[in-house]
Amino acid sequence: MTIHIGADPGDVAETVLMPGDPLRAEWVAQTFLTEVRCINRVRGMLGFTGLWQGHRVTVHGSGMGMASLSIYANELIRDYGAKTLIRIGSCGAMQPDVQLRDVILAMTATTLSTPSSGIFRELNFAPCANYPLLRAAADAAMARGTRCHVGGIYSSDVFYDERPDLNEIMTRHGILGVEMEAAELYNLGARHGVRTLAVLTVSDHLLTHEALPAADRQSSFADMVEIALTAAFS
């Protein structure tokens, strides 16, 4: 048991999927796993462990933003022995050829700042995904016939952005989409020597201003979850 996770030793699997929303963690666990049991409810941040095709998997919410994710990922890695952490979540598209419901696999994550910025100081560290995990996810997406894009994303530390100029620069430099957690997850993966990846579903578009209705979002995330699970055990 840690400050933020009430699980007992052995409750957390080595493979952890991390959606931001704890209720989405519950939906993923109930939809894709068998023999599911809740392992954490501290502060309303839900975690579940079960089986996917015979493999133990934990699905644990990360909360919104890199500061929140950093707390849970650190504890999952350092105190519970997680070895593979895959962020599953939504993102906003930043390129004209990326469409709603497409899946983005984040090869790199650009950012202005993360909770790790104080460690790196003047160094512009380039956080990236674990390549074998990334490759396995790309193969899984292709096998499913899912529209998928592999490349750089932007991890923002604010939701209500007032920097349209920055968005224009990101688009100009080929950034596929924007979200709020992956860069710090990749920093922690590098620091602790564990596998990390972000598998993201496009839920809205910064260029066209399209957005999935709330009722459609959950059903559209199924491909993302299947890709993440397949990649984790390939």
Gap between the Cα atoms of 73 and 30, Å rounded: 22
* β-bridge mates for residue 209, sequence order: none
35 annotated ligand-binding residue: no
Residues serving a catalytic function are: 204
20 annotated ligand-binding residue: yes
4 annotated ligand-binding residue: yes
181 annotated ligand-binding residue: yes
In 3-state terms, what secondary structure has residue 101? coil
In 3-state terms, what secondary structure has residue 100? coil
11 annotated ligand-binding residue: no
Among 136, 135, 184, 175, residue whose Cα is nearest residue 154: 175
170 annotated ligand-binding residue: no
Pairing of strands 103-110, 47-52: unpaired
180 annotated ligand-binding residue: yes
The alpha-carbon radius of gyration of the chain (Å, integer) is 16
Name the binding residues: 4, 20, 24, 43, 87-90, 179-181, 203-204
Name the binding residues for a purine D-ribonucleoside: 4, 179-181, 203-204
Name the binding residues for phosphate: 20, 24, 43, 87-90
